[in-house]
Every structure is written in C-alpha cells, then in structure tokens.
Amino acid sequence: MSQNQPLRVGGVPEHFNLPWHLAIESGDASRCGREVVWAEYSTGTGAMLADLAAGQLDLAILLTEGAALGLARKMPIEAVSLYTTSPLIWGVHVPADSRFQNLADLKAARYGISRPGSGSHLMSLAMAMQEGWPTADLEFEIVDDLPGAITAFDEGRADVFLWEHFTTQPAVDAGHFRRIDDFIAPWPAWVVCTGRQSGQQQHAAIASLFAIVVEHAGRLIAASDGAAMIAERYGLQQATVLQWLSKTQWVDRHTPAGSALALAREMLQKADAI
C-alpha cells in the first residue's frame, strides 16, 4: 500500500473505542504519518474479520474470541496487541415479557446473533459449554445488530441475545430487554489486528498510531469530565459510565495478545466453534 493512502480502521460503535475517535478528531492520529479513516461496524467482529481478511480494512479492534477464531481458520490476519486487559461483560438478555427467568431456562432457547463468527455467536457457545449444554443443539437467528435484536424480540424470532452489558443498558431501561444474568469472558476483551499483507512501512505507521491511541485512553481515564463525555456521546447515564469505567482497563503500551488468544481458542475448541 502506498504511503499516501489512508489507514482504514474498523471498530464497533461503542464507548471502548472513544480513544480512537479522540485521536482522529484531535488531529493527533496524523502523527503516524498517514491519514486515518474510521469505519463503523455495528454488526461487530464477524464483519470486521471478513473485511480485514479481504483487504477492505488495514486495522480492526476485534473481540478476542473473534480474533482467535480467525487465526484458527488461517485467515490472513495478525494480532498487533491487546487493546484492553479487562474482560467483556456480556449481558444475557430476553424480551421484557419473556417466560425465561434464569440461565437454566435458556438451554433450548433461540439465540439472536449478529452473524456467524461474531462475539454474540461465539459467546453464546461458550456460555452453553460452561452450563454443560450440548452446543450442537443451539439454534441461532441472525439479527445483525442491537436494533435488529430488538426487532427480532418484537417479532418473536429470537429468545435470548448476548451483547455488551453497558451498551445495552438503554434498551433495558426502555423495556425492550430484560437482563437475566451476565456472562463474563475469561480473557481480555479486545485485540487490535491487522491484515497479514501489511508491509514494513505500514506496520510502523500502525505501531505509531496505536501508541497515540493509548495516550488518549490514558487521558480519558484521567479527565475529570471523561465520564460525562462518554455519557453524552453514547447516550448513557453518567452513573452507568462510572460503573463501566471502574471495570475497564485499556493497555498503557503495546501488549502481546498470545496468551489471551490461546485461552480463547481453547474454550472455542471445547465448544466445537473451531
């Protein structure tokens, strides 16, 4: 890729990725020597994996389990670094008027997922495995994204939907969802990945960009108005944001992702996802 072409970065439209937006909006991202273009993926990790492998993206912030799946399938991607050291808290949601009351009720439920290979898909399998259910018996309904899950619930096409706890809080507050439990992934939540076709100059630009984003993550944590900024930008209550911040830790430097990916791959193999 020419040095004149922008770096195309993909990520979900969630508060975890605010440091990337702040780096781009402030102009600091350009210090990496390239223009940086952000691509929003409301459908999540599965869609980013496909575009990263196809060369449609240069860099993506993927769920660790999705990155592990892509690497296990020999997709042309490479893990650059962990992005967070804290795990993702997956809310386990059912329709507000659902007959389901606890996890034990969900063995034969229909699971809404954004797409095959997405976090919502893989973590449904991981949760079933943890509960001792046959993963081959799970039934999946593709709903695309969070609004799609609300529609699928309203239309009776899905019974349960796993999505990040704090992102779904407005849907819970509005009565679209009822959260019956949380499922916490046993590994760090996010990994930064690049396409394997990246050259040496591109790797250097990506390393520089990531260091800039890490700086912005540190500033965000330290800012007195950080929680208020996140709440306003993502339509959350400030109390919800403060709770999320207390459970979230971004890396403060390049951090190898190998052990996290190995742990995720081991669980996905046990759950017959790989």
Which residues contact residue 107 at a Cβ distance below 8 angstroms, ignoring those fewer than 6 apart?
128, 131, 133, 137
Confidence check: pLDDT of 274 > 80: no
Arithmetic mean of pLDDT over the chain: 94
Are 198 and 177 in the same domain? no
Q: What is the CATH number of the domain that holds 172?
A: 3.40.190.10
pLDDT of residue 198: 67
pTM: 0.91
Look at residues 161, 186, 211 and tell me which one is the last residue of a structural domain: 186
The sign one gets for the Cα dihedral 36, 146, 227, 79 is negative
Domain extent, residue 124, equals 87-186
Are 21 and 147 in the same domain? no
Which residues contact residue 116 at a Cβ distance below 8 angstroms, ignoring those fewer than 6 apart?
46, 140, 142
> How many structural domains does the chain have?
2
Q: 214-264: per-residue pLDDT in tens?
A: 999 999 999 999 999 999 999 999 999 999 999 999 999 999 999 999 999
SS (HEC) of 19-33: HHHHHHHHCHHHHHC
Look at residues 186, 203, 222 and tell me which one is the last residue of a structural domain: 186
Higher confidence at residue 195 or residue 82?
Answer: 82
